[in-house]
Amino acid sequence: MATRTARRSPAAPPAGRPLPRVFEGMSLPVRSAAELLGLTPWTVTRLIDRGVLETLYCGPYRYVTLSSVMAYRRLGRS
């Protein structure tokens, strides 16, 4: 079984109400995160590389945490 490691984002949490805890521990493939944000997978990959979105690795695959996707949407950047 592959282990998952998290890559933390240096971005500050969004102002206002905190995100519901239901999103913790859930993750999406890069392509699904891109569809949810209305962006291309390439743009999501750039956001990951800049540290804006938090990722998990499972073997060779990279997943974006749902909490970081929802926080990004909440900031109104997409």
In tens digits, the chain (78 residues) has pLDDT values of 445 555 554 444 445 666 566 667 789 999 999 999 999 999 999 999 999 999 998 889 999 999 999 889 988 765
Q: Count CB atoms within 10 A of the CB of residue 56.
A: 18
Query: Which pLDDT score is estimated for 25?
Result: 79
Query: Which pLDDT score is estimated for 76?
Result: 75
Query: Which pLDDT score is estimated for 1?
Result: 46
4, 33 contact by CB (below 8 A): no
18-to-1, 30, 39, 43 alpha-carbon distances in Å: 33, 24, 24, 25
Predicted structure pTM score? 0.68
